[in-house]
């Protein structure tokens, strides 16, 4: 289903709640919500996945970054009903079988957080950036991560963590 046809397919009228299925972190959830509910609010309030943070609520900070079909989006700027039939990945879905994702491990190793509020968005965005197209330089990493803000200024450590994962990937490919 395309995002342009979601209203016709769901026969959404007004603000009546609709039941829909969302595939989040490889689990199918059935949720009932109003069509105006953002993906961020659905994740946090309906599914209890609070790792995705609500900060600016305007798509400016990146704290709410999730992956939809392995592409980064600001979940505060999109409606949940637009994501029927997509694969949504949150920070909670990156770890596999109690083993942290390499990006999560690198953030810990490099102290790539201080207060931690932006961390989940930074990690998900970094993973998405690599899935979309691996950056070739520090400048490219900075550019591709520019949609994620850190009030504490942990950028050097965030960049170091990302570079560490990229180096591990290169070493594994050899």
Domain ranges of the chain: 3-92, 102-173
Confidence of residue 172 (pLDDT cuts 50, 70, 90): confident
The class (CATH top level) of 102-173 is: mainly alpha
Q: Return the closest-CA partner of residue 82 out of 5, 1, 12, 3.
A: 3
Answer whether 61's CB lies under 8 Å from 18's CB: no
Whether the per-residue pLDDT at 99 is higher than 60: the answer is yes
- Here the tokens at position 23 are 């595939």
Query: 99 has which bridge partners?
Result: 96
3-state secondary structure of 58: coil
pLDDT of residue 8: 47
3-state secondary structure of 61: coil
pLDDT of residue 12: 52
Task: Please state the pTM of the whole predicted model.
Answer: 0.90
Tell me the CATH number of domain 3-92, given options 3.30.530.20, 3.10.20.30, 3.40.50.280, 3.40.50.970. 3.10.20.30
């Amino acid at each position: 289903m395309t995002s342009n046809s979601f209203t016709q397919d769901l026969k959404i009228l007004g603000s009546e709640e609709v039941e829909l299925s969302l595939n989040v972190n490889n689990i199918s959830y059935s949720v009932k919500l109003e069509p105006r509910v953002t993906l961020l609010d659905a994740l946090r309030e309906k599914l209890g996945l609070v790792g995705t943070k609500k900060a600016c609520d305007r798509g400016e900070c990146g704290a709410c970054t999730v992956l939809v079909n392995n592409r980064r989006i600001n979940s505060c700027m999109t409606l949940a009903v637009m994501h029927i039939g997509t694969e949504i990945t949150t920070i909670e879905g990156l770890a596999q079988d109690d083993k942290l994702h390499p990006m999560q491990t690198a953030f810990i190793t490099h102290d790539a957080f201080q207060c931690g509020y932006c961390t989940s968005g930074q990690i998900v965005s970094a993973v998405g950036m690599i899935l979309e197209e691996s950056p070739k330089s520090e400048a490219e990493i900075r550019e591709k991560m520019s949609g994620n803000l850190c009030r504490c200024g942990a950028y050097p450590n965030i960049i170091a963590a990302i570079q560490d994962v990229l180096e591990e990937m290169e070493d594994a490919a050899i």
